[in-house]
Structure formats: C-alpha cells, structure tokens
Structure 1
Amino acid sequence: MSWHAYQWFLEQHPDNRPILVIDPPGCGRSTRLPGAMDADAQGAHIAAWLSEQQLGPVDLVGHSLGAVTGARLSAQHPELVASLTMVSPSPDARWPRMRQHVSALVRGVPAEAPRVIAQAAFDYVRANPLVLADFGRQAGRPADEVMDGVRTPVLVVRGTADLVSSHKWCADLADAAGGELLAVPDGAHGLPQQMPAELVRIVTEFTQTP
C-alpha cells in the first residue's frame, strides 16, 4: 500500500529510465483525501498530481489495490497513460466484502516470501482506515466496470499461487480492456516483493514493445 512494496523492484530495475514511486493517498507518508478514497478518487488525485508535475504519458504500474486505481486513472485521463500493468489486481470481484479479501491474504501467507509479510503488515497498520473502508465499498465491482473506459495497452500479471486474485478475475480484467494476461509460475500475491527481478523483466518487455 506504500512505495515500500516496490523497494526490491527498484533495486533490480536498470537506471536507464526514470521511475516515480508514490505513496497513494492515506498510505505511507501521504495524507488522506478530504472526501472519498476509493479507486476512482485516488485515480483522480494522482492524475491531478501528474498533470501538475507536467508528467505523462507514463507507463503506469499498480499492484493489488493500486492496480484498480491505475485502471480508473487510465480511464479518466487516457492522455496521461501510455500503458497500464496491473499486478495481482484486487479486490477480486468474487469477494463482495473486504474482509473476504483480507481473509484470502491471510490464507496466502504460506506462499509468500517473509519480507512480503513484514512489509505488507506494516503498511496495513500504518494506512488510514478509510482507505480500506472506501475500497471495501467497491468490493465485488465486476471487471467490465473496473476497466470501463480504459483504452491504453493493458497487461495483467498474476502469480499462479495467488489466492487473492483468481485466474478468472485477472482474465476478465484483461479481456474487458482487450489486454493480455501473463502468469508467473509459483508467484503469490506479493509479486513486486517476492519476484522483483522477474517483474522488472515483464514490465520492461511490455513497456518497450512498439
């Protein structure tokens, strides 16, 4: 939920292109938004920040809840997004309640690298409770609604051992936007922390494809 999820990804990424990693509103060191903090509101806020910084179009990468935020940002402001990579996107539409999403995270712990657990637990404890509450109100949102309006190239990445984001959910997201689905063997939900080098390779190949 904070930029720390990408710290190992950053260590593996070549320094031949600039990378911006942010704490979304209500997470890490970012303060909460004055109103809603669901995926649509977060996407609008980040888009406003990109515009203010005169950045874009960017290759956007979002993990877990951030993947859905990335989709809504791409739909709202296609001029700011060159491509969208959705890594372990959640919450899965099969979980109509946020506590089911959290329960799936707990069940998936044995497949995760220890550093994933430590980093994720720290982020969840530190996050503003309204973030999960507002995302929870959008739990069960179908894939075609999440991806409605997304016109940029889309890659959905899922680990085959992920108990949180199902194959069907990820395939539905990719299909809804005319995108691609890529499976990472033995990968769990925390791919940026668990398999950073593999994710760097995947993102680099996707974003550099003409």
Structure 2
Amino acid sequence: MIFLLLLLSLPIITILFFQAKNHKHATNLQPPGPPGLPFIGNLHQFDGQSPHTYLRRLSNKHGPVMSLKLGFRPVVVISSADAVKEIMKSHDAVFSSRPLLVSLQRLTYNCLDVAFSPYNDVWREMRKISTIHLFSAKQVQSSLPIFEDEVRKMMAKIARDASSSSVVNLSETMMSLSSNSICRVAFGKTYGDEGYGKNRFFDLLHEMQSILGGLLCGGLLALVSMD
C-alpha cells in the first residue's frame, strides 16, 4: 500500500521539483512580483472585478515593471511610460510576436490573420497589403456613408420604440449596428432583417465571444501540451 502511494505521488513530486528548480533559475531574470502558488501562480490573488486597481497596488509595491504568473503563463506588467516606450518603440521587434493559443488557433484558422499571426515575413506582408488596400484613408472614407446610414436607421428604430413606449434593448441594438455595419462593408449586404442569415451571424458572434473568453485557458492548455 505504501509503495503504491509513493508510486502515485512520484509524478507530482517530480513536477514540483522541476517547477521549483526552474523558478529558482529564472528568479534573477524576471522583474519583482508577488509570490504565487504552484500550478495556479497568482490566479487566486488576481482581482477580476477591478484589475486596474489591483495592478496599481502591486506597482506601488513592486515597481513600474513587475511579473505575475497566471497559471503556467508568466506575465510582465508595465505601468511606466518610459518602460512602455522602451518596449513599443526602442525594442518593438522583440515584443511584436503573439503567443500561439489554442483558442486563437481555432478562431483564426491556425493564426493566419493579421491580428494574431506571429511576427514574421508573412505578417509584415499581410500588414502592408491591409494598410494599403483595406485601412487607407480613402477606403475608410468610402465606407463612411454606410456607417452614417446604419446609425440613422438605429436612431429611427429607437425613436419608433420610444414613441410606442416600447423597451429598447441597447445591447441588442448596438450588436445589430455593429453587425450590419461590418457586414455591409465586408460583404455588401446586411443581416438586419429577420431570418436565417441574422440568426446564423449572431450565433457565430456568440461562439466567437465564448472562444475569446477562453484565451487564458487556451494558453494554459498550450503550455501544458508543450511541457
């Protein structure tokens, strides 16, 4: 019985040993920060309701550059304008890449889009094409009448509902405005009318929100799988 317990606890002891060893080795390479627990790091301390207040308290204690550990994911928090300038301007190429998270790979076809693709030659070429052909000032101005028309329709609908003393669901109204504007710009049609198209599009939006909500879990799973 004792031998069986030792055999079952051996993997846990091994993981804790290597984690403590790696943590000790990396201590001198990381900024200061609050101590965490094995496996979960600082997740139990993080204030999800007021993260800005929590991070401000930590920066007052540990300095403008500090480190946290959210599960297996190490995080560096910057709260100094000078440090942000060093990262975003002086050493931007070093910090320009993005982590390959499971949820993002599912959402963006293995991170083939501009927003979440790793920093490489392909990303630079996609950014160049997007800047010239999609996000230029001329292209944005050409889409302005669409946005104005959708806002005008939204205001008219709110006015009709107000005149009939109907309750206006602002969340659904703003979602409809965003969806119709994006679809008209990207696909040349709107999903404002009732029907399968609108329902299918809203289903996709809700599914995307669920996937984005799993960014942290996806990161943890990716790191666990790599280990």
Would the TM-score normalized by the shorter structure come out above 0.5? no
Length-normalised TM-score, structure 2: 0.25
Comparing both structures, which one devotes a greater share of its residues to strand?
1
Length-normalised TM-score, structure 1: 0.27
Comparing both structures, which one devotes a greater share of its residues to helix?
2
